[in-house]
Amino acid sequence: MNLDELLKEAITKPEKRSMFLQMLIKSDVYVICKHPVKTDEINGGISMELVTTQNPDGDIFIPFFTSYRSLQQFAKRYVNCYRLNCLRLFDLIQSANAVLNPNSYGKEFSSQEIKSILMVARNLNIPAISMKEEETIEYRKTQKNLDHLLRPMTRYLTRQANVDACYLVEMVRGCEKPQILFVFDMNGNTRKLFFPLSKYMQNYTKSGDSLVFISLEEQAAQKAVKDIDPFYVRKKRFFER
């Protein structure tokens, strides 16, 4: 049973909550960052500014997620994110409140609850060990026919003068289900393209499709499309020839 499944059970079955917390603090989770994470290569640390969210009562929480898929369902567009051990996250944000998988089945953690979890973990000598995200991601050519996505995507892109090309690869994070990664060679604001495009593509996705959009400017995108040909290339206008 994975973390998502155990979380669903813990919501309705109190006897599962202890087991869920034990798995949670030993697992990696995802957070949304306002800017790309900066790494201090000399000291080995990182610098990141986390996004916050607000519940209907006006309380501020730091959202975090059991999987990248859960993060995408919440964000609905490309965002800067980071993967780290949950216990490490709690240590960093212990004076704040947090919410796991907001807008879905999830759980809120008060700062007091986070501090209690940290205290228990220290007493049990549970280390905060996190895998490097880049070591858990695999990019590969898609294994299935995706014409139901490629046709509408191509139609949409022909109307976008700022997109020169688009690539399609399959992205697998650890043991998660494969996701469909679209990489855009483009100019301008990614949000202005990705937000309306994600709404448009919702009309064409099938059950099980999980789409991710990213700009070719991102280092991860360049790695993903290495030796891959684009499925869409914008036709040059007369004055560009």
Residue 186 tokens, joined: 């483009």
Taking alpha carbons only, the member of 189, 182, 144 closest to residue 166 is: 182
CB count within 10 Å of CB 204 equals: 15
Residue 233: φ, ψ to 5°: -135, 125
pLDDT at 183: 95
pLDDT at 190: 87
pLDDT at 54: 85
- Helix-then-strand count for the chain, H and E: 8, 13
d(CA 188, CA 185): 10
pLDDT at 131: 46
Taking alpha carbons only, the member of 8, 80, 76, 71 closest to residue 37 is: 80
Residue 139 tokens, joined: 């990019």
Residue 99 tokens, joined: 């919410």
**Which amino acid type is present at position 58?**
G
Buried residues in 121-141 as b, exposed as e (16+ CB within 10 A): beeeeeebebeebeeebebee
d(CA 217, CA 183): 9
pLDDT at 29: 92
CB count within 10 Å of CB 42 equals: 6
Q: How far is CA 197 from the centre of its chain?
A: 18
pLDDT in tens, the chain (241 residues): 678 888 888 888 888 888 888 888 888 899 999 887 776 555 556 678 899 988 788 889 999 999 888 888 888 777 888 888 898 899 888 889 999 998 777 888 999 999 888 888 877 777 665 544 455 578 889 878 999 999 999 999 999 999 999 999 998 765 567 889 999 999 988 888 988 998 899 999 988 888 888 899 888 889 899 989 999 999 875 555 5
CB count within 10 Å of CB 76 equals: 13
pLDDT at 99: 93
Which domains, from first to last, does the chain contain? 3-131 (3.40.1350.90), 136-240 (3.30.70)
Residue 83 tokens, joined: 């993967």
